[in-house]
Amino acid sequence: MAEQSLYEKVGGEAAVEKVVEYFYNEGVLKDDTVNHFFKDTDMKKQMEHQTKFISFALGGPNTYTGSSMAKAHEGMNIQPEHFDAIVKHLHDALAHFGVGEAEIGQALSKVGSLREDIMYK
């Protein structure tokens, strides 16, 4: 039997949706380090895009049709402390829903691989 993808291990799309909601509502939007990036953002649309993106990043179906990471973050001038805050909130959201540290590490490694495409744009 094939090994489960990280997406399947965390519980599929429904679980990722819950993680993304928690990520924004309990982490990002309460954090003055990064919440200003979202002040004029349609959060419902943002959460839908993020759910698709994270699902794909975890090995789920590729239904993400948003901009490239570099394009999506163009003009934001994201600095290391901003990127690190987002990574911390994602870690905390995954942990909150019982995802194991090994799987969180895999997920954060995938996110970390996008660092150069996101920062200083």
Residues whose CB falls within 8 Å of the CB of residue 47, separated by 6 or more in sequence, listed in order: 17, 20, 21, 24
Give the residue-averaged pLDDT of 99-107: 88
Report the 10 Å Cβ neighbour count for 78.
18
pLDDT digits (tens, 9 = 90+) for 42-55: 999 999 988 988 88
Closest alpha carbon to 113 in 37, 55, 57: 57
Q: Which CATH number is associated with domain 11-118?
A: 1.10.490.10
CA distance 51 to 64: 9
Annotated binding site for heme: 49, 73
Closest alpha carbon to 95 in 43, 40, 18: 18
pTM, rounded to two decimals? 0.88
Annotated binding site: 49, 73
User: Residue 72: its pLDDT value, please?
Assistant: 85
Domain boundaries, the chain: 11-118
